[in-house]
């Protein structure tokens, strides 16, 4: 029968706020991995920023809290506001339970338990929660569940994957990290891992740890972050963005693009000589402002700040941070531009990065974008961010492009950036080989996933 429609439905049971372009880059990378055989891909995700069902393009979004309990994923947050204190308290409680009562993770979260009850023939309950029941019916139509993108594999994935399997859905894990403090927890994950069609870790240390703790898992392997597979927009669309943002004059000279953040890694680990968070933030802004001035004065280059996270919270609003940094630049000479009013997608930002002579990035997925378009970079971050050391340093073979903020100083940062600037063309040539290898590997994994799904007759056969 002639194909009228070819659609693959993918459920990603984790937080996927499209406002964070790094998260979107992962989603679009998965899309490109799975659409190579002509399939269109429909996603279903669970962003924490969503309070009701939303549809944006080919992404259906349901509230994260409809499946996950918030205290399962909240992390340490510096500060004394109620949200920060609550988040930190949840994090501490989990660590205590992991250490002394690791079996706690077998307790199913209430939102997920509610879905199980909705599955049963209880009409009054379905009337009480009609939207969640609708979500449940939507999830039953999924062809495959892909989990693991959201950093460390946690108890929430343990429960949701087992629930998906009980519903008759197949699942795989890609792009995850795993290094729990208590080995008993890893053994509890063994059921989820062993039932997974595929199991790919994005850092070597995670893979080696699992090999040591769970030697029976023969299917595990190391693979690039799916964001490496995302294709940028076409050249014409990049030209259109440059014209729309009035960047033509900026591109008359060398262009350095920057992504900045003030995430928890900076607040906790950067500037070891500073104790208070506010002092770390102040030191970070002065450091970046003086680096901007150095680039203007010494490199005779222009600078464009790219927003890689917009509108989620003040802490994750890159444009606000860029504006605060710019207030401290003494003499910008009309060479600095912040893309502020328009929100661009991950593919568009990757296309823009491809036009830069150099990227200075604090957003890890902006660096991943740079690798994909062969743009030399300086990656600024913390040694405690395993994404930087594992993905950028080891997997991308770019440990010589990493600058750590633990003992940052203006003199050493400027000297480091100068050295990268001088050998940027050699780095560009190196990245061509790295990105080509990664994209080929992810393409093969995409074909593998499609083969798994098709062999299980899970692709919507109504359209074939």
State pLDDT tens for residues 324-367.
999 999 888 889 999 988 889 999 999 999 999 999 999 999 99
Contact 61, 45 (CB under 8 A): yes
Handedness of CA 178, 136, 71, 345 (dihedral sign): positive
CA distance 242 to 257: 13
Identify the burial level of 341 via C-beta atoms within 10 angstroms of its C-beta, where 0-12 means exposed, 13-18 middle and 19 or more buried. Answer: exposed
Q: How far is CA 325 from the centre of its chain?
A: 24
Closest Cα partner for 90 from 110, 72, 111? 72
The predicted-structure confidence for 124-150, as pLDDT tens digits, reads as follows 999 999 999 999 999 999 999 999 876
The predicted-structure confidence for 104-127, as pLDDT tens digits, reads as follows 878 888 999 999 999 887 889 999
110-117 LR contacts (CB < 8 Å, sep 24+): 110/69, 111/65, 111/66, 111/67, 111/68, 111/69, 112/67, 112/68, 112/159, 112/160, 112/163, 115/66, 115/67, 115/163, 116/163
Half-sphere exposure of 448 (CA within 13 A, CB side): 16
Q: Does domain 232-437 have CATH number 3.40.50.2000?
A: yes
Q: Mapping DSSP to helix (H, G, I), strand (E, B) and coil, where does residue 250 land?
A: helix
CATH topology of domain 7-223: Rossmann fold (3.40.50)
Closest Cα partner for 291 from 233, 237, 361, 340? 361
pLDDT at 278 over 80: yes
Question: Assign residue 317 a region: left if phi > 0, alpha if psi is -120 to 50, beta otherwise?
Answer: beta
Contact 339, 304 (CB under 8 A): yes
pLDDT of amino acid 464: 29
CA distance 237 to 222: 34
pLDDT at 303 over 90: yes
Please report where in the chains the tokens 């918030």 appear, as a residue. 70
Handedness of CA 427, 432, 433, 439 (dihedral sign): positive
The predicted-structure confidence for 408-453, as pLDDT tens digits, reads as follows 999 999 999 999 999 999 999 999 999 999 999 999 999 999 988 8
Between the CA of residue 192 and those of 151, 154, 185, what are the distances in Å? 16, 11, 12
Contact 199, 193 (CB under 8 A): yes
- Domain spans of the chain, in order of start: 7-223, 232-437
Neighbours of 37 (CB within 10 A): 11
pLDDT at 462 over 70: no
């Amino acid at each position: 029968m002639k194909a009228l429609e070819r659609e693959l439905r993918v459920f990603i049971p984790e937080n996927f706020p499209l406002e964070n372009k790094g998260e979107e880059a992962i989603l679009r990378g998965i899309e490109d991995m799975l659409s190579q055989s002509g399939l269109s891909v429909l996603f279903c995700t669970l962003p924490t920023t969503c309070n009701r069902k939303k549809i944006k393009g080919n992404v259906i979004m349901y509230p994260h809290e409809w499946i996950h309990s918030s205290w399962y994923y909240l992390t340490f947050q510096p500060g004394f506001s109620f949200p920060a204190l609550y988040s930190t308290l949840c994090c501490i409680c989990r660590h205590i339970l992991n250490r002394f009562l690791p079996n706690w993770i077998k307790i199913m979260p209430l939102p997920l338990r509610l879905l199980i009850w909705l599955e049963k023939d209880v009409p009054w309950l379905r009337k009480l929660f009609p939207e969640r029941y609708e979500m449940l019916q939507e999830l039953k139509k999924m062809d495959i569940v892909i989990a693991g993108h959201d950093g460390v594999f946690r108890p929430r994935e343990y429960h949701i994957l087992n629930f998906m399997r009980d519903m008759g859905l197949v699942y795989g894990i890609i792009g995850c990290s795993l290094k729990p403090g208590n080995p008993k927890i890893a053994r509890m994950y063994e059921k989820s891992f062993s039932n997974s069609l595929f199991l790919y870790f994005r850092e070597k240390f995670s893979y080696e740890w699992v090999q040591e703790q769970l030697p029976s898992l023969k299917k595990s392997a190391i693979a690039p972050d799916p964001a490496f597979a995302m294709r940028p927009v076409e050249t014409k669309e990049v030209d259109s963005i440059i014209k729309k943002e009035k960047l033509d004059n900026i591109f008359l000279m060398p262009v350095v693009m920057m992504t900045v953040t003030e995430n928890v890694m900076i607040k906790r680990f950067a500037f070891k000589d500073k104790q208070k968070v506010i002092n770390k933030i102040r030191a970070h802004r002065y450091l970046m402002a003086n680096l901007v001035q150095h680039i203007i004065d010494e490199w005779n280059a222009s600078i464009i700040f790219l927003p890689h996270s917009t509108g989620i919270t003040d802490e994750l609003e890159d444009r606000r941070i860029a504006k605060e940094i710019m207030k401290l630049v003494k003499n910008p000479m009309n060479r600095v531009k912040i893309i502020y009013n328009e929100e661009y997608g991950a593919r568009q930002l990757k296309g823009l990065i491809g036009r830069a002579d150099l990227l200075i990035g604090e957003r890890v997925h902006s660096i991943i974008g740079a690798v994909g378009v062969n743009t030399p970079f300086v990656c600024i971050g913390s040694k405690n961010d395993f994404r930087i050391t594992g993905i950028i340093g080891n997997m991308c073979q770019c440990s010589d492009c990493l600058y750590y903020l633990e003992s940052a100083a203006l003199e050493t940062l400027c000297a480091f950036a100068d050295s990268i600037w001088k050998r940027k063309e050699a780095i560009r040539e190196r990245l061509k080989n790295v990105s080509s290898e990664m994209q080929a590997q992810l393409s093969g994994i995409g074909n593998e996933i499609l083969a798994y799904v098709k062999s299980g007759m899970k692709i919507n056969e109504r359209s074939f």
